[in-house]
Structure 1
Amino acid sequence: MKSSFFALAALMAAGGQAAAATPGEICVQDLRAIPSFLLENDTGARQHLAQKGQAYFDLALATATTAAAGAADSKACDAILENYVGMWRKGHLHVKPGSAQDVAKPSPAQPAVAGQAAPSKEPSLQVLSETTLLLTLPSFHGRYRTAMATLLDTHQTTLASHSNWILDVRSNGGGSDATYAPLLQWISSGEMLNMGAEWLSTPANIDGQEKVCPLLAPGDQNCAAFSVQAVAQMRTVKPGDYAPQNDGGVISYTRLSPPELHQPARVAVLIDKACASSCEEFLLAARQSFHVKLVGRNSYGALDYSNLRLHALPSGVRQLQYATSRSARLPTLQVDLGGIMPDIYLPPPKDDAARAQEIVRVQRWLEGGSLRPAGI
């Protein structure tokens, strides 16, 4: 697919200096490395090119090149490159400043008010009434996997004695499916269908897979085993081809053994636009239960292309974060187009007080009352 898109990249490469001296030259150097790398290694790039057209990406690259050449500093360049990759895909594709170790750290929670302490991203439990409890799940990052398992294990009696659960995953940006896995046995109806995904096999993707566990979960044997299996699957096909994540195929049916104690009778999962990635994978799993309703607003829509890995851009001061797998749901069930719809829609809250009231309203509804806002 040779065109002006590649011609422009080649022209920049030929005219570039061996050692970029200015922030603008460094920025252009990183920019010109992105499109060809994406088309070879990112699982969504070729599909995006086919959908949006060559002219769209020619213009995007030309516009970004002009902006990059005029970048006054590294921070300005970061914004330009992040905007450029956003022209390819709105989620699961980023340019991050810093080293691979810097990028792998989970983003800290931000305080609601300047000067206040940031809220914790660890899972927490709050008993709301004799029948209803609230599980707040701000993140599914791998570092919270032990905290999730410990919470569920420590509070088994409390969990089993409350028939109504509210799971608050608003603003949960995702992380690892393994983090929420212990929760599924509590809320599932027994069997779960998983469509699975496929790996794109390339040398860069295999290299990224081999490095991911030391970055994200050093010493985690489950992560290491997953990585070894992924690399083995990638090596069963030729470079540039796709391989199923598992030998058994892309569709699987899993039986989940419920805990010995009672499962909740009613589960409401509060969702919003900031629920993304593994948070959305959780929604797809949770909504298969007869006991679960999704309440709130559409999720973000960043799930079709996933398993992000890092690639150092030429400058060495920023990383390209891109997708190495694609969902087997494609093209018939696309999440990225508009996110996952709730079963029951709630309009966006106007402020923090209205956001907090959503929990009160859902509790009232689970306990036999109404979702209607107070005063209406």
Structure 2
Amino acid sequence: MTNLFKVSIYTILLVLPLLSAWAQECNCTNSFEIARNAYEKNYSLFKYKVTDENRDLYEAHSDIMFEKAKKTTNLNDCKVVLERWLSFFRDGHAYIMMSNDQNGEIYSEHIDLTENEFKSNYQKKSYDSNPLLGIWKNGGYTVAIIPSPQNNTKERDYVGVVLESSNPAWKKGEVKLEFNTVFGTSYDINYMMGDHSIKKTFGKQTDRGVLEIDDLSEWTKLWPEVENIKKQSEIELKYDQFHIAYVDKVPYLRLPDFYSVEPSYVDSLMQAHHDRIIASDVFIVDIRGNGGGSDGTYFPVLPYVLNGPIELPFNGFWLSEDNTEYLINAMAASKELTLDEYKQKDKKEYESFINNKGTSYFKGEGTWTFTTDTIYKGPKKVIILIDEGVGSSGETFVYRANQSDRVVVYGQNTAGVVDGFNGFPQDLGCLTAVFPTSYRAPDIATNPIDPYGIAPDVYVDKEIDVLSYAIEHMRRLLELDSTNE
């Protein structure tokens, strides 16, 4: 595979200057017009998302959203309008962000609080009289929910202050949640998203140890410990971490994402447990909730999963005028070259962009053969656990792995966010739009993965413990295989 196609299948948002000629003042009408023009010209999947059959539907939707943009004066509301417009495409790689210089619209508040201080205050301030107050956890976030500080002028009853976070965008002491009591244990909530933007929602404490937030997440109370709440297993406690554990002696690998660690870290995990994995009848790889990152992160796992060469489609690029300029700069930056150096050192690649401008350009037709340097004879079978949170390079992992005869995939359909990749950041003024410039495969018109995702081999309802079921199901499969031999 040439360097042109070594770009991993995920949204690479390189630190490049945005097209300053399109920079505008904070005006939602202007932002909408710029976004619509950019998507219609440069979005690689536009011609697949908007066809002769549904063009009228798209035009009507765009007209309605444009009228709403005209009436919008608040930046957060403008972001919502643009996101609603983008919902027509149903593409998780097409989204809107606040621009870097709009931090005033992004919520940021710090309250000095440590876990020891909170626990010390718990009895002193009679926090035990309110079951909401305590230390709660969801995913990579651990927060202490406390009454809103008295010296604060904001109208709210309680706040959730970060004690620990695996998200580098969130630091200890930052306010993650705000609560206003509606009735009893029901609350209006301001939930600060990963980028610190505010999502207004509703939540209810359904149990002394469970806080459910609509459309977002379920939080579990860690402290004070709640009686009759099921103790979390090692796997549950480390769910947001890369680790290998054992379930009834079955090796279990958790890969929560493909961006926060280097491939060498995953390789070190595999090597530390190598002998037990290859000697196992069953090996579990859990990628539920893995929204993607870099394909390279999962490469150290493939020798344990694949059982031979696999076929992959050639990737391609939509080489509009703007995309061509962007991709040339992106390729040069990814190789740490100036533009002039890139033109000289990768002349063939550079000219392939220039000569094919205005076309959907693919390096080849059909598929190419992918192999790993090593393929281990064990384990006998591999369980892969997926759900609707698996997207982008999480889906390419499933796509590759599922070509192996020893793999069985369990769970629900993946997110369906992989047909387009390589994100172009388009300046809208106070907002930034991002959309794919590239194609996963030449045949996405007839064999798309978006927006319905990759189906599992064995569908398991999300209310069922998929881990336990998959182990039981796989053991039965192995019994049947041995009987039929």
Indicate whether the TM-score tops 0.5. yes
Shift of 1:190: 1.0
Shift of 1:145: 3.1
1:131-210 aligned within 5 A: 132-141=250-259, 143-210=261-328
1:155-304 aligned within 5 A: 155-210=273-328, 212=330, 232=350, 234-235=352-353, 237-244=355-362, 246=363, 249-259=365-375, 262-304=377-419
Q: Please name the residue that 2:420 is paired with.
A: 305
Quote the Cα distance in structure 1 between the aligned partners of 2:45 and 2:331. 23
1:187–1:291 CA contact under 8 A, matched in 2: yes
2:328–2:350 CA contact under 8 A, matched in 1: no
Structure 1 residues 139 and 19: alpha-carbon distance in aligned structure 2, compared to 1, 3 A threshold: closer
1:92-111 aligned within 5 A: 92-99=93-100, 110-111=139-140
Structure 1 residues 257 and 295: alpha-carbon distance in aligned structure 2, compared to 1, 3 A threshold: same
Q: Please name the residue that 2:248 is paired with.
A: 129
Q: Please name the residue that 1:106 is paired with.
A: none
Q: Please name the residue that 2:470 is paired with.
A: 362
3-state SS in 2 of match to 1:338: coil
Q: Structure 1: state its 5+ residue gaps.
A: 1-17, 103-108, 371-376
Q: Please name the residue that 2:92 is paired with.
A: 91
Quote the Cα distance in structure 1 between the aligned partners of 2:287 and 2:420. 21
Quote the Cα distance in structure 1 between the aligned partners of 2:82 and 2:276. 48
What TM-score results when the alignment is normalised by the length of structure 1?
0.75
Shift of 1:312: 1.8
1:210–1:231 CA contact under 8 A, matched in 2: no
1:142–1:176 CA contact under 8 A, matched in 2: no
1:111-126 aligned within 5 A: 111=140, 115=144, 117-118=164-165, 121-126=240-245
2:24–2:31 CA contact under 8 A, matched in 1: no
Quote the Cα distance in structure 1 between the aligned partners of 2:348 and 2:469. 44
Quote the Cα distance in structure 2 between the aligned partners of 1:149 and 1:51. 48
Compare CA radii of gyration and give the structure with the larger one: 2
1:190–1:257 CA contact under 8 A, matched in 2: no
1:133–1:165 CA contact under 8 A, matched in 2: yes
Residue by residue, what CA displacement relative to the aligned partner does 1:16-48 show, whole Å, maximum 9, x if unpaired?
xx975xx5xx11111101122112211111222
1:190–1:258 CA contact under 8 A, matched in 2: no
Shift of 1:141: 2.0
Quote the Cα distance in structure 1 between the aligned partners of 2:386 and 2:470. 12
Q: Please name the residue that 2:194 is paired with.
A: none
Q: Structure 2: state its 5+ residue gaps.
A: 1-22, 104-137, 145-162, 167-238, 479-485
Shift of 1:69: 2.4
1:206–1:234 CA contact under 8 A, matched in 2: no
1:342 matched to 2:456: yes
Q: Please name the residue that 2:204 is paired with.
A: none
2:418–2:449 CA contact under 8 A, matched in 1: yes
1:122–1:147 CA contact under 8 A, matched in 2: no
Q: Which amino acid aligns with 2:315?
A: A
3-state SS in 2 of match to 1:50: coil
Q: Which amino acid aligns with 1:198?
A: G
Q: Which amino acid aligns with 1:69?
A: K
Structure 1 residues 49 and 369: alpha-carbon distance in aligned structure 2, compared to 1, 3 A threshold: closer
% identical equivalent positions: 19
User: What is the aligned length?
Assistant: 325
Residue by residue, what CA displacement relative to the aligned partner does 1:242-261 show, whole Å, maximum 9, x if unpaired?
222x4x545101232335x6
Residue by residue, what CA displacement relative to the aligned partner does 1:46-89 show, whole Å, maximum 9, x if unpaired?
22221553322222222212222232422111111111112133
Q: Please name the residue that 1:14 is paired with.
A: none
Q: Please name the residue that 2:62 is paired with.
A: 61
Q: Which amino acid aligns with 1:292?
A: V
Residue by residue, what CA displacement relative to the aligned partner does 1:290-313 show, whole Å, maximum 9, x if unpaired?
100110111111222222232222
Structure with the higher helix share, 1 or 2: 1
Shift of 1:233: 6.7
Report the RMSD for the aligned CA atoms in angstroms: 3.4
Q: Please name the residue that 2:432 is paired with.
A: 319
Quote the Cα distance in structure 1 between the aligned partners of 2:385 and 2:35. 37
1:123–1:144 CA contact under 8 A, matched in 2: no
Quote the Cα distance in structure 1 between the aligned partners of 2:33 and 2:143. 38
Quote the Cα distance in structure 2 between the aligned partners of 1:238 and 1:340. 31
Shift of 1:191: 0.8
Structure 1 residues 112 and 310: alpha-carbon distance in aligned structure 2, compared to 1, 3 A threshold: same
Residue by residue, what CA displacement relative to the aligned partner does 1:243-292 show, whole Å, maximum 9, x if unpaired?
22x4x545101232335x64211111111111111111111111100100
Shift of 1:345: 0.8
Which one is further off, 190-199 or 145-154?
145-154
Structure with the higher strand share, 1 or 2: 2
1:333 matched to 2:447: yes
What TM-score results when the alignment is normalised by the length of structure 2?
0.60
Q: Please name the residue that 2:37 is paired with.
A: 36
Q: Which amino acid aligns with 1:302?
A: V
1:199–1:234 CA contact under 8 A, matched in 2: no
Quote the Cα distance in structure 1 between the aligned partners of 2:307 and 2:318. 33
